[in-house]
């Protein structure tokens, strides 16, 4: 029997209001989640690398306006869009990340190229973009990322003097819309990828956990791959993805116990709302959340697909 392979993705966790979710929006979100997990799974079926699978899956979500990554990213206090992303490959612990980029259509590809083509792990702002353009990326105008919905959200947050989450007319405005993927490939490699526009009304220049290896993204062959979503200021301080990996490595907890312990433990008590997806070296998948929902999907080692939104599903 060949090595098992599987993949899981997320499109953000948080409060998602059922009563406000129109059938049309729900169908569109479920469609995108399925397209994403299938795109990644296709790479795995054809024997591709876990890293290529997670990048392919995340790219589908970055290209959809339904999620807070790539097109549809939330806005900073300066009414501009700045995006963060990271990837990690479990084989040699190689990683790449970018932060606060403004003109890159698919930040996840740039994170992968920082890993593959630079001597560094994390590039930010102008330097990251210069690296991108030297490597053949085209300049994408801010207009491409703009959506009316995110502009309205920003105005509502500014009025309330808040940052991060807002209450407004959309069913998932109380949700962090970051996207991510984790996969195990037929060679036994684990990989993780995370991409985001951050949080609404953030100070421009702010960087969240999605760029931070060990907080938002981690992959270790023989152990686990993790991608997180939630309020980055908490996820960075609790080193969430790395903590799941450490619990499994040192305490020998399984992926389910380790993920739940981290998400429902101190992170939650200190106010860190959100969730994570994790996949272990046998392809077992776990979705953890301390919020009412998390957009998510998976295709397990038996090829069974699952696409869900609410925590009680």
Give binding residues for substrate as ranges.
206-209, 229-232
Residue 65 structure tokens = 């306006």
Query: Cβ–Cβ contacts within 10 Å for residue 195, how many?
Result: 35
Query: Cβ–Cβ contacts within 10 Å for residue 125, how many?
Result: 15
Shortest separation between residue 281's beta carbon and ligand ASP, angstroms = 25
- Rounded CA separation 263/274 (Å): 8
Binning the chain into helix, strand and coil, the percentages to the nearest 5 are 35, 25, 40
- With CB under 6 A as the contact rule, the residue among 36, 64, 66, 68 that binds ligand ASP is 68
CA dihedral 250, 251, 252, 255 (to 10 degrees): -100
**Which stretch, 91-99, 122-130, 135-143, 226-234, contacts ligand ASP (CB under 6 A)?**
226-234
Q: Do the Cβ atoms of 125 and 97 come closer than 8 Å?
A: no
Write the binding mask 8 to 47 for ligand ASP: x where contact by CB under 6 A, - elsewhere: ----x-----------------------------------
What burial class does residue 251 get, using C-beta atoms within 10 Å of its C-beta: 0-12 exposed, 13-18 middle, 19+ buried? exposed
Please give the C-alpha separations between residue 109 and each of 74, 148, 191, 299, in angstroms, as whole numbers: 19, 26, 14, 22
Nearer to ligand ASP, 123 or 164 (CB): 164
Q: Does 232 bind ligand ASP (CB under 6 A)?
A: yes
3-state secondary structure labels for all residues of 233-253:
HHHHHCCHHHHHHHHHHHCCC
Shortest separation between residue 119's beta carbon and ligand ASP, angstroms = 26
Shortest separation between residue 69's beta carbon and ligand ASP, angstroms = 8
Annotated catalytic residues are 178
**Which stretch, 50-58, 227-235, 255-263, 293-301, contacts ligand ASP (CB under 6 A)?**
227-235
**Which stretch, 57-65, 138-146, 175-183, 264-272, contacts ligand ASP (CB under 6 A)?**
175-183
CA angle 163, 243, 189 (to 5 degrees): 110
Q: Does 243 bind ligand ASP (CB under 6 A)?
A: no
Number of residues that bind ligand ASP (CB under 6 A): 16
Q: Does 208 bind ligand ASP (CB under 6 A)?
A: yes
Q: Does 86 bind ligand ASP (CB under 6 A)?
A: no
**Which stretch, 121-129, 146-154, 192-200, 251-259, contacts ligand ASP (CB under 6 A)?**
192-200
User: Which residues of this chain interact with ligand ASP, rule CB under 6 A?
Assistant: 12, 68, 176-178, 196, 198-199, 208-210, 229-232, 235
């Amino acid at each position: 029997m060949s090595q098992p392979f599987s993949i899981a993705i997320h499109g953000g966790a948080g409060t998602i209001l059922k009563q406000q979710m129109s059938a049309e929006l729900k169908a569109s979100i479920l469609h995108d989640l399925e397209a994403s997990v299938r795109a990644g799974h296709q790479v795995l079926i054809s024997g591709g690398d876990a890293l290529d699978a997670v990048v392919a899956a995340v790219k589908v979500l970055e290209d959809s306006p339904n999620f807070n990554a790539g097109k549809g990213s939330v806005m900073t206090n300066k009414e501009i869009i700045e995006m963060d992303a990271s990837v990690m490959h479990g084989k040699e612990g190689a990683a790449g990340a970018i932060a606060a980029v403004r003109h890159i259509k698919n930040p996840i590809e740039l994170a992968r190229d920082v890993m593959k083509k630079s001597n560094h792990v994390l590039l930010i702002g102008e330097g990251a973009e210069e690296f991108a353009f030297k490597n053949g990326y085209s300049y994408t105008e801010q207009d491409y990322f703009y959506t009316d919905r995110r502009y309205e959200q920003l105005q509502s947050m500014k009025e309330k003097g808040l940052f991060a989450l807002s209450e407004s007319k959309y069913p998932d405005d109380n949700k962090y819309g970051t996207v991510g993927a984790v996969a195990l490939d037929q060679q036994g490699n684990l990989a993780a990828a995370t991409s985001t526009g951050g949080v609404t009304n953030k100070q421009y220049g702010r960087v969240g956990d999605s760029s931070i290896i060990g907080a938002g993204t981690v992959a270790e062959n023989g152990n686990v791959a993790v991608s997180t979503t939630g309020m980055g200021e908490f996820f960075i301080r609790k080193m969430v993805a790395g903590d799941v990996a450490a619990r499994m490595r040192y305490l020998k907890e399984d992926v389910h116990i380790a993920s739940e312990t981290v998400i429902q433990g101190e992170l939650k008590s200190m106010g860190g709302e959100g969730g994570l997806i994790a996949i272990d070296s046998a392809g077992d998948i776990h979705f953890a959340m301390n919020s009412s929902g998390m957009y998510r999907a998976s295709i397990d080692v038996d090829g069974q697909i699952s696409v869900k939104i609410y925590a009680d599903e």
